Amino acid sequence: MTETSLRARIRLAATTVAVVATLLLAAGAGCDSQQEPKLATVQQKLEESHIYGQSKLRIGVAAFEPLMGVLENGRYVGFDIEIARYIAASLGYAGDERIEFVQLLTEDRIPALQGGRVDILVASFSITEDRQKLVSFAGPYFVTTQEVLVPARLKDRIRTIEDLRKFRVCTSGGSTSEAELGRHEVKVLVVKNVRDCVAGIRDRRYDAVSSDETILAGFRSLYPTEFEIVDMPFGTSEQLGVGVPISDPALRDLVAFFLHKSYLAGRNGRTSPWLTAYNQTLGPWLQAEREQPPPLQVPQLVDFDDRAPT
């Protein structure tokens, strides 16, 4: 074999080795690209959120909504309050000593979130397209409808939306109910909250109040012989969500994840935090039985419980 042919064979062998190595590297890279992306953990999301390191979680709640959110004998009670407590505990803020409840009027809810006065909002807060431009939502955690609360003395005279146009109708400012009444050409008297409407009806300054059925049920529970809830065909259903600052997607994902965890427990036939809260508050006062709705846009996260040894 000549020296020239020997060098040619060596070059061919070296080229073959290089090609094989390149193919093996490419195959390895292909396998890596097909692997599932590593899921984020709850702890990682917490560290990304603005609440990380806070000693307390500030939760915006309704100023006075019986069955939903109200201060009674120095303690907050209601369906929204129990949902808020569940979320807080899931985020690491178990116990009322780790929660700062902040009472808010309807019109103050969005400014409180935007201004950093509260970390989350659980206060009969309906999810709408306009609001989603200003704040983020996790949920829904409840689906309700807009109805009308009328005094017993007028229950036979106020049965339809057309009837409403002839009476003095009250609602809370900045609410979806106010907008819906306007769409139906019902003139409204706007006040700070539904409690003012109910007081005005009892004083005969107003004739009816329109709001979410959950809120109206609370006031009917206070005055069961004085009022009746009238079912009226207003728009679409109201989806109640947890408000979160639009600047904190990590916190929104965490709230959505824990709401979904409760939803899955109920679907699997187990007692869920949502069902317990409902049965203790709203359940006895609503006509139809309800179930927790599936939350939307739920992220896949690895929870603390999922990583714990069995």
Q: What is the pLDDT of residues 148-182, one digit of tens each?
A: 999 999 999 999 999 999 999 999 998 999 999 99
| Amino acid 34: pLDDT | 53
pLDDT, residue 309, reads 42
Q: Are 47 and 92 in contact (CB under 8 A)?
A: no
- Integer CA distances (angstroms), 222 to 39, 169, 216, 280, 288, in order: 48, 20, 10, 16, 20
pLDDT for the residue numbered 20: 41
The CATH architecture one would assign to domain 41-144+238-307 is 3-Layer(aba) Sandwich (3.40)
CA distance 240 to 142: 5
Beta bridge partners of 55: none
Q: Do the two domains 41-144+238-307 and 146-230 of this chain adopt the same fold? A: yes
Q: Compute φ and ψ for 193, nearest 5 degrees.
A: -155, 170
The confidence score (pLDDT) of residue 37 equals 67
Q: Where are the domains of the chain?
A: 41-144+238-307, 146-230
Question: Domain 146-230, what architecture?
Answer: 3-Layer(aba) Sandwich (3.40)
Give tens-digit pLDDT for 52-89.
Answer: 999 999 999 998 999 999 999 999 999 999 999 999 99
The dihedral built from the CA positions of residue 256, 261, 265 and 267, taken in this order, carries a sign that is positive
User: pLDDT tens for residues 114-131?
Assistant: 999 999 999 999 999 999
